Amino acid sequence: MAWEVADFASLMGLETHGPDVFVGISPEYPWGRVYGGQVVAQGLRAAQSTVDGDYHVHSLHAYFIRGGSSDEPIRYEVDRIRNGRSFVTRRVVARQSDGAILNLSCSFHLHEDEADVQESLLPDDVGEPGSGTVEDWSILGRRVAHQSTGRSSNWLRVLEDLGDDPSLQACALAYTSDDIPMDAVAGTHPRIGEVQEDSVTTYHDVFIGTSLDHAIWFHRPLPADQWLLHDHRSHGLANARGLAVGEVFAPSGIHVATVAQEVLIRERTR
């Protein structure tokens, strides 16, 4: 039985089940498995629950181990790897009855008043914040700003007011960050274009696609409840695996995060 989840804050409302153990629920998604961005975001939320509020996540690295089921809760077990003076490190394993579904490591950092240099620029071909083809789903706002071979740019945000809590804003970025990388890589596959032109055969009839591992680097504070541009570019395909690297920009042009994801795109053999 899947749960009715009204909003993002409710999705992040994990229950405590013993020391450093948290349990979350999932809505049902059209593709059958739990959305990977949800598990990353809930895993980050579990880690945040064991960290002092003065420390903010600066990076996370996750491996998707198997697809999660919306029919049962997800158990998040947090390991307090290290509490340092400037950095705090946590490991989170997400489990269901079939075993582990995600292994996540994340690091938190105290703010340091040091040099701030930005090299990346907001692309000039993506329109106004929130503009583009509307492809919203569930609690995620998705607006396709640019789509071309090997590149996918979308304005993304969760569809509710989250206030100015930086921890919840970081979880919202983690949630949205799993939506675009596959599109960038899939656009470079030599056969996917053929399938898309076929009015009978669908992508899922021919290919198996899933996220393998995922990384986010949080560079600067996230603006509260604004559309963020996720601009992803494919770095190619080999051995059924493809890599996409993307930059995340605030509407003001500030480079707030970088996302990298390796995906699996495999042709079905049976």
Q: Return the active site residues.
A: 178, 211, 261
Q: What are phi and psi of 183, to 5 degrees?
A: -60, -40
Residue 162 · residue 224 · CB < 8 Å: yes
Q: How many CA atoms lie within 13 A of 262 on its CB side?
A: 12
The three-state secondary structure class of 190 is coil
Q: CB–CB of 26/38 below 8 Å? A: yes
Q: Cβ(210)–Cβ(262) under 8 Å? A: no
Look at the block and give the residue holding tokens 């053929």.
Answer: 194
Q: Which residues pair with 103 in a beta bridge?
A: 63, 93
Half-sphere exposure of 82 (CA within 13 A, CB side): 11
CA distance 133 to 143: 5
Q: Say which amino acid occupies 100.
A: A
What burial class does residue 83 get, using C-beta atoms within 10 Å of its C-beta: 0-12 exposed, 13-18 middle, 19+ buried? middle
Helices (H), 128-262: 166-176, 181-186, 192-197, 203-206
- CB burial of 15-29 (b: ≥16 within 10 Å; e: otherwise) equals eeeeebebebbbbbe
Tell me the C-alpha distance between 93 and 86, whole Å: 24
CB 160 within 8 A of CB 7: yes
